[in-house]
Amino acid sequence: MAEPTILIIGAGTFGTSTAYHLSQRYKDPSRVTTIDRAPSPPEPSAAIDTNRIIRTDYANPLYCDLACEAIHDWFWKLELGEYFHKVGWLMLDEVGSDRADKIRTTLESRGSTQTQDVDLDGLVKRWECLEGTQTKGFEKAYFNPEAGWCEAAAATKSIMDAAVKRGVQRVTASVKELLLDESGKGVRGIRTDDGKEFVADKVILAAGAWTSSLLSPIEDQLNIGEADRIERQVRATGAVSAYYKMSDAEINRIETSRMPVSVYGQVGEVVPPSHKLPYLRYCNGQGTFTNTVSTKSGAKISVPPSDQSQYAVPEGLKQETEEAITSKLMPSFTKAKRPDYWRICWDAVTPTDDWLMCKHPHPSLSNLFLAVGGSFHSYKFLPIAGKFMSNILEDKSNGVEKDKTWRWKEDAVWKNHQGNSALSRELRDLDSRTMGVSARTHSKL
């Protein structure tokens, strides 16, 4: 019996990982096709950047276990090892927060005892590059030496190249629409902007922040009610990063100081540069936002703006980022400077920050599968996420806990950290220099 043909829409973290694992499982990997609007690595994706953090530090035992599995591949997998930089992870925790304690308890419960207490008054003595870092409002800190960062764009491309080498088809084209099967039992395939059609037995939607924009027209055709639409499961959400180009002397200072990835509580983080990638990257984790639009049918969906570059960041967001983090964490490297560039990273976020990795529940979409919900924390799982998606395609269980956690949730409710209905900031409103902070902050996991 012939292996089913697979069409993967999206070549970000989940799409690339799935293509890679299917290339290892299939006798004929040419029956697997991955399509994305941009060549690998696809620039609009959350899976590319100068760097991404690789850590095992999770309070949630499920993701801690998964991260411990994944980090082994970052150390040893041929396609990834050269792109991983083991510099460690330093986390500052605010007064009254128990997040760091919960993370360390979870790590210790699985036998990981490598984390170390760090005296806030001794930060600069240990890491000279942190000179001037403001610690007011923080209560404690810890260091995990078994973490670091990776060259994300290069790593993503390496994994996709490995899949293509085994026979996976990689197509560069913009997907215009999903095509329903005339029998009404599934999705036949897709049509691209240039009119070409690609069909498959099974279709995986791994389009990240662009999920609603692709699925909403099909939901209209099938008269799917608001409570059962994809927007109830995931929302396209943006977060801002600032990039400061470092001189060779500054990079030497940072490397001599052995700077770790530094997490500034719930506010954000900064990732070290290298001579190869000379940008000190600050991520504003304090305030995320959405871009809500109305479709022709009147449905409201979240989607990255089609008429605005990811590098066009509102002045209000820039000011917020500078005031919240770049002026307070490692300020000796940013004082009297402006970032060389800014970028909005768009990702698909779920109400619980869990993945949405399952078959679509609607009977007329029985061959449509979802691999989305990275929620700004999932890049580290690039080596292993596709293994679980491949199991789902084969109707195999990933275990009771994973199946339950990653399922389509009929009872999905968007709440913020205070337990109230989440109110999100809109990108269109963020040109103002006086802005409220989003109800959603750092990942809850």
The residues near 312 (Cβ < 8 Å, ≥ 6 apart) are 344
CATH class of 86-147+236-349+415-445: alpha beta
- The structural domains of the chain, with segments of one domain joined by +, span 1-50+151-234+351-412, 86-147+236-349+415-445
Give the whole-angstrom CA distance, residue 286 versus residue 439: 9
At residue 35, does pLDDT exceed 60? Answer: yes
User: Are the folds of 1-50+151-234+351-412 and 86-147+236-349+415-445 the same?
Assistant: no
Q: Write out pLDDT tens, residues 80-101.
A: 999 999 999 999 999 999 999 9
pLDDT at 421: 37
Contact 53, 261 (CB under 8 A): yes
- Per-residue pLDDT of 265-305, as tens digits, reads 999 999 999 999 999 999 998 889 999 999 989 999 999 99
Q: CA–CA separation, 309 vs 10, rounded Å?
A: 19
List the one residue out of 369, 20, 390, 3 whose CA is nearest residue 203.
369
For residue 167, what are its two tokens? 């026979």
> In angstroms, rounded to a whole number, what is the distance separating the alpha carbons of residues 314 and 256?
35
First to last CA, the chain: 42
Helix ranges restricted to H, 52-209:
61-76, 99-109, 123-126, 152-166
**What is the chain's mean pLDDT, rounded?**
93
- Beta-ladder partners of 197: 191
Kindly indicate whether the domain formed by 1-50+151-234+351-412 is annotated with CATH number 3.50.50.60: yes
Instruction: Assess whether pLDDT exceeds 70 at residue 46.
Output: no
Nearest to 344 by CA among 310, 375, 315, 302: 310
Least confident of 61-70, 164-173, 420-429: 420-429
Cα separation, 208 vs 428, whole angstroms:
21
d(CA 445, CA 373) in angstroms, rounded, equals 13
| CA pair distance 261, 352, nearest whole angstrom | 25
Alpha helices in 236-325 (DSSP H): 248-256, 315-321
Distance CA(325)–CA(254), nearest Å, equals 18
- How many Cα atoms sit within 13 Å of 146 on the Cβ side? 15
Residue 440 in contact with residue 424, Cβ under 8 Å? yes
User: Could you give the 3-state DSSP secondary structure of residue 305?
Assistant: coil
Which residues are bridge partners to 84 per DSSP? 150
Say yes or no to pLDDT of 388 above 90.
Answer: yes
